[in-house]
């Protein structure tokens, strides 16, 4: 798996409670075509697939499951985030080395900012780290969650 630093949401981020990724991706403002009254619209989920890789780099404890969601918003502080994809991973699968992927950014990624949000179910973990980001392709070796 090859991660690009500019497309990385979390870099060995400790997840000890429900939290957003430490990094967000700014897709930039859309431009306005000459003579048009409004800016162009975007949806990065349409067209070529953008796979998101989620890798556990330190085993989790205590929690029941972790829900990983991809969110978009028009403002950097994510005042009203919209979830466009999510996946729930059970504690038994949250061991170091496990890799999961949200197959791709789904249509609906039509706002400027993109992040990952981690929702902890059950008791807050004291251990557990995740690296997540958009990658060129997902190596699965036929194994996935």
Alpha-helix runs per DSSP H in the chain: none
| Residues 36, 14: Cα–Cα separation, whole Å | 46
**Residue ranges of the chain whose pLDDT lies below 70:** 1, 44-49, 103-108, 138-145
CB 104, CB 21: distance < 8 Å:
no
What is the reported pLDDT for 65? 96
Instruction: Please state the domain extents for the chain.
Output: 3-27+42-135
What is the per-residue pLDDT for 105?
65
Class of domain 3-27+42-135: mainly beta
pLDDT digits (tens, 9 = 90+) for 15-51: 999 999 999 998 888 888 888 888 777 776 666 667 8
Q: What's the whole-model pTM score?
A: 0.85
For residues 120 and 124, give the distance between their C-alpha atoms in angstroms, rounded to a whole number.
7
Neighbours of 67 (CB within 10 A): 15
């Amino acid at each position: 798996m090859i991660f690009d630093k500019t497309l990385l949401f979390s870099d060995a981020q400790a997840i000890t409670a429900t939290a957003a990724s430490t990094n967000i991706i700014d897709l930039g403002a859309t431009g306005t075509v000459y003579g048009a009254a409004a800016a162009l619209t975007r949806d990065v989920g349409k067209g070529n697939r953008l796979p998101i890789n989620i890798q556990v780099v330190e085993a989790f404890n205590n929690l029941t499951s972790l829900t990983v969601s991809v969110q978009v918003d028009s403002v950097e502080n994510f005042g009203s985030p919209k979830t466009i994809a999510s996946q729930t991973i059970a504690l038994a699968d949250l061991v170091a080395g496990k890799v999961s992927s949200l197959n791709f950014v789904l249509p609906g990624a039509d706002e400027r900012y993109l992040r990952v949000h981690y929702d902890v179910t059950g008791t807050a973990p004291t251990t557990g780290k995740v690296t997540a980001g958009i990658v060129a392709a997902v190596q699965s070796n036929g194994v996935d969650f």
